[in-house]
DNA sequence: ACAATAAATAGTAATAATTACGATTTATAT
DNA sequence: ATATAAATCGTAATTATTACTATTTATTGT
């Protein structure tokens, strides 16, 4: 996923291409890590001082629906990052301080031997947490 | 973990053994599934109509510290359940509606081949989500 | 049993993230 | 340029969680 493809997706699905959306997409492309709604506000407040959370959350939600962003929940807070360019399903090692990630290649679902048929499965989550080298120093 | 051992732990660590704590521990022993603070309140409100969230959250937190309960976060809400009797570290398949769980034997951390040394690892989470047979009917 | 003490609790307020809403502005197509 | 529907702002509502103070209560030692 890159900015140009994200913009294309937006327009194809009938969403308007606004300056705020442009900057949000560019922010995630630049940062390549998990960001909270508040962090988005902080990054964009020089360009858009009055940017409302209604706008931020609505756009984040649209981006997730379109597959542009992926979402997780860390410590009671929703966090968002650009969907990884790798087309293959995978998981992440995540820095709890700055949201930086590293890819984990294998998905543990493939190796689960437990019988899952009693439940109607809808998803799974595998994340490893820690602090990156910048955040431990 | 069972109620008697939990009570023993509480007293050993200098916590008072109150009626509210007794009922909370018994509730988790009976239900054997993830419950939210609100659900605890609902279950106990016949016995303790004015039970405050301060009390509920404080006791939940103490129980987690003592290893009596384990905690996870589902859909932005903290959920608690009795620590599984199996001494072995493991993970769960969880019903998103009622909190019922099934144990998954293997821990995916053992099979991770990715180099994790760039991060100082503090924990991990592996959960499979779905709906149990009672909740899909 | 009684009194002293520190912990636990109730009642309520504060905090924080997220969602919702009506009025206004703006991107886009005609 | 105009029309139209979507996007945004400013603000309020909602929800889970945490915090505070006065009061109550479990525990300990007498
Ligand atoms: Mn990735
Ligand atoms: Mn278990
Ligand atoms: Zn970091
Ligand atoms: Zn269920």
Confidence at B105, pLDDT banded by 50, 70, 90: confident
pLDDT of B130 > 90? The answer is yes
Choose the most confident range, by mean pLDDT, from A15-19, A102-106, A109-113: A15-19
Whole-number Å distance, CA A86 to C1' C27? 33
In the block, tokens 């054997």 appear at B32
Instruction: Name the one residue in this structure whose structure tokens are 């959306």.
Output: A21
Confidence of residue A53 (pLDDT cuts 50, 70, 90): very high
| DSSP per position, A47-88 | T-TT--HHHHHHHHHHHHHTTSEEEEEETTEEEEEEPPS--S
The candidate with the shortest Cα–Cα distance to A95, out of B28, B119, B96, is B119
The reported pLDDT for the residue numbered B87 is 81
Residues of chain A found within 8 Å of residue B71, distances taken between Cβ atoms: none
- Mean pLDDT in residue range B71-88: 93
Q: What is the pTM of this model?
A: 0.92
The C1' atom of C7 and the CA atom of A108 lie apart, in whole Å, by: 45
Question: Does A101 score more than 90 pLDDT?
Answer: yes
Other CB atoms closer than 10 Å to residue B90's CB: what's the count? 14
pLDDT at residue A86 tops 90 = no
Contact B91, B104 (CB under 8 A): yes
Is a pLDDT exceeding 80 seen at residue B69?
yes
Residues 6+ apart with CB under 8 A from B3: B25, B26, B29
State whether A122 and B133 contact (CB < 8 Å): no
Q: What is the pLDDT of residue B79?
A: 98
> Is B68 within 8 Å of B2 (Cβ atoms)?
no
Residue A109 gets which letter from DSSP? G
The values of phi and psi at residue B36, to 5°, are: -90, 165
CB contact under 8 A, B131 and A123: no
**Of B129, B75, B106, whose CA–CA distance to A106 is shortest?**
B106
Q: Structural domains in chain B?
A: 3-82 (1.10.10.10), 91-136 (3.30.1490.190)
Residue-level pLDDT at A8: 96
Q: What pLDDT score does B13 carry?
A: 96
> Up-side HSE of residue B55: CA atoms within 13 Å toward CB?
16
Q: pLDDT confidence of B96, banded at 50, 70, 90? A: very high
Residue A131, SS3 per DSSP: strand
Surrounding ion ligand 2 within 5 Å at CB are B 84, 103
pLDDT, averaged across chain B: 95
Tell me: the pLDDT tens digits for B42-54?
A: 999 999 999 999 9
Question: Could you give the CA distance from residue A79 to residue A33 in angstroms, rounded to a whole number?
Answer: 9
Q: Is the predicted pLDDT of residue A133 greater than 90, yes or no?
A: yes
For B80, the 3-state DSSP assignment is: strand
Give the model's pLDDT for residue A16.
98
Task: Pick the residue from chain B with its C-alpha nearest to A105.
Answer: B114
pLDDT at B86: 86
For residue A28, what pLDDT is reported? 98
Contact of A128 with B135, CB cutoff 8 Å? no
Write down the pLDDT at residue A106: 87
Q: For residue B116, give the 3-state DSSP assignment.
A: coil
For B134, the token pair is: 């009672």
Helix (H) or strand (E) holding B128: strand B119-132
Give residue B50's pLDDT.
94
Cα Rg of chain A (Å, integer): 17
């Amino acid at each position: 996923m890159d900015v140009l493809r994200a913009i294309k997706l937006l327009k194809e699905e009938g969403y308007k291409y606004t300056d705020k959306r442009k900057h949000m997409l560019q922010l995630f492309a630049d940062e390549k890590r998990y960001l909270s709604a508040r962090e988005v506000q902080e990054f964009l407040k020089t360009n858009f001082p009055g940017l409302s959370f209604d706008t931020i959350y609505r756009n984040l939600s649209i981006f997730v629906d379109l597959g542009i962003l992926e979402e997780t929940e860390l410590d009671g807070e929703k966090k968002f990052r650009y969907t990884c360019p790798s087309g293959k399903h995978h998981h992440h090692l995540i820095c709890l301080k700055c949201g930086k990630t590293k890819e984990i290649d294998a998905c543990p679902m493939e190796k689960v031997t437990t019988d899952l048929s009693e439940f109607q499965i809808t998803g799974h989550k595998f994340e490893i947490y820690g602090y990156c080298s910048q955040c431990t120093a």
